[in-house]
Structure 1
């Protein structure tokens, strides 16, 4: 295309790729049949003006897009005309736009073979649709495949592409009735198509067989490699199917020997199984016998506890009788004291009467002094008697006071003695009642345990409880009361073995150290034992303790190991005292929330009790 040149340097504007007359952009960059007149060209981009704008000052045309770019530029004084640099004013130029639309142009696909020539205004219609009745657009325009296979192709070649070349075209499998894309059919479908012909892997005379029939064919293929029918009895020869009969005829003796060995092996296996069966039957009989003995042991234990309970009740009755007798003794002593008081009162009255009589006699003797002058000796004798009686009376009074004091002290001592004896009897009665109640709770707990636990599984733990030798189960009753009233509870003593170290545990329900208030803490202490002279000191080993699950013989919790590392007082032999001054501590044995938690598999706190199981010492 020829275009006029300007003396001044034109502003460069990017030429749009869209050729639609209505689109926004610079001038039309098309292959015109004849060079456009110079008065139709934009003075900025030098292409036929799109949406032409006429400059009033100089009469030249500009594209609307190019002029807008010029007016909005920040580096150019856009108040002046871009061509003549005068004060700029503009109006739309519809005449120029119409003349540009009338220009004759070639199809953009001319180089590809399109021979279309027409006005510029018709180019968009030509490219999008043809003016003929076929209405398919320019045949040389490159478009994307309608199946979205990714191929860009000329419109005239699209039909052949869709029928013969497109990977996503719909085709039918030549072996079955399946329909799908060509890519799927020749790919994954033919890898699975049951009708697809496959060559026999043995290359037999049949040649190709359908995939769905291949398994049946391989079971009958004469060239297939198969095992000898006597492989189950030891023949390891493999031959082709058609040669199997010949092999069986040739190897009759070998097969007979294999059968003999197989039969002998079966006989040996049968004998071994019978021996195992006998062993298992014997073990089952032993288990039944042990279970029976254990039930008898439990029944005997319960009977023994019942007898002890009866003895305790009898002892309580005897103590009640003794208490009644003591009450009677106290009553008798009280009566005797009252009798002593009455005797003293009577003696006092007699002394008063004697005093009164003495005074009367003195008056009579004074009045009759003259009359009884001859009776002076008698009077002196009588006065002596009176004096003696007075002394005796004074002595009696003194003795009476002393006896009264002795009686009061005796009465006080008797009362104190009786009160102490009564307190002892009451404490003994209270202790006996608590023991009776505790024994009843133990019996009830034992019966509950017998109902809840599997007897064969619980046997080792019950045996350990009785012997006080590991394994050993410790029961802490009234856990909540211990938690409220005491900081520590000491377990019964136990031995790590029949001739091992003697130990005990101290349980702190409220915790200690890092576990204070949130956990149950447990301490392990050495004690002075019977076998200490034969043992190795200091102690080295780990004592394993866990919280016992009261629902079943599994899911025990809080397993900890008290490590005696041979260092410190806690590991040395205990001398001069019953228990070591220091122990091995576990501050966080079990979390309080975990202790009180209840699940269908475990429950550690039940009926106010917890159990600690000492499992081993290694």
Structure 2
């Protein structure tokens, strides 16, 4: 999209506003365009025109044209009031007089002033002169043309933010009404989607779409109310179903009749043809007998011939009689088969309709039950998590972790199904560090397959910005002997250089602890009870030292020493 760089020559005079005077003298005005004369020429009658205006009036014709100024003044002179290219001459006197008049440039933003003879040169070179935009046709100052093409031209091409298609800016509003990638809202269910998906959603997916009752009544039902509608109108729907079944039976009868008609017609035609031939033969036999009686048996040869023909006819009749019987039996068999097919098709149609209705009902009930079960499962999981957090949450830096179903957890670890289990979270205070423990029933790292591994894990908490980092509190890990003979205890202080004890950047840091915490052989020793009634108890304690800007016990800020 580009604009012309060369100034477009005007075909009319100069704008009236270029002269400093409020109203220019009429002798400086063109009698056609009524603007300030541009390259003035004068007619024999004394009226002045712009050179371009005169050429526009006369064109390429050699005929004379009446001066319209003379007509307006009611001073038409047959000798001088005609315009002709051979009688017009440049008016240099008025041009010199105009050249001394003070004028100004009227292009927006231009402050040029001077005499008129210099204005023509300035008009061509003025940086504020208007250029016609080839896209929209507007006259724009040359200095602003680039900005016009980029930001204000109504015919500039812009990219649709939804489908990335290039559209004229002036057409963008209408394009957005039909853009297939634009986001719109279903008026029925308020679900947002792309415009190209709305037809499928409206016809097949929207739970609030309006559809005719599938049972045949004239009601239009919202899809999510269809089940209720069907249950409330069972007698009416049975009536419509019966009518539809009867109509289907009639159509099946008609179709069977159409299929059977050609076969029946063929059989009937063949029977008629055979009957006609038998009648012809019978008439031939009768004529032969009559002729023999009339002759009085005068010629023996004729009697023998007639007898032979009669015998032949009887043989043929006897031959056709079995064929006729077979044909009648075939016709009766066809009729019987047609009746059986009709009955079978009618029964199958009824059974199929009943089966389809039953399948649809069961499918709808199954979908409703699945949705209800999903909602219940989600709520149950949320409640379990909430109750577990409320039950086990501690804010004194001590965790007593009850691990139930330990045998199953160890079996899962042996098979690789679930190798570790996490404890509930606990805290050093209501505004303190968030922590948990991680236990490997079949060991991890160096202790895999030989020991139970126990680790301490720092988690991302809500108040980490108020706490001192890295984590420096002493941690004690204890496996409780439920016979109270010998607990397994390990204590460590965090390594400040380890990433495990820096401020968590994800949900939890890398675990740190003891991969060789409890030998599996000791777990099986009957004199100890680290697992009793399939339950194991682990204690984690954190000693809290007051070197944080926040007192973890009282939640008060501590002044620096």
Q: TM-score, normalised by structure 1?
A: 0.28
Q: Which has the higher contact order (CA 8 A, sep 6+)?
A: 2
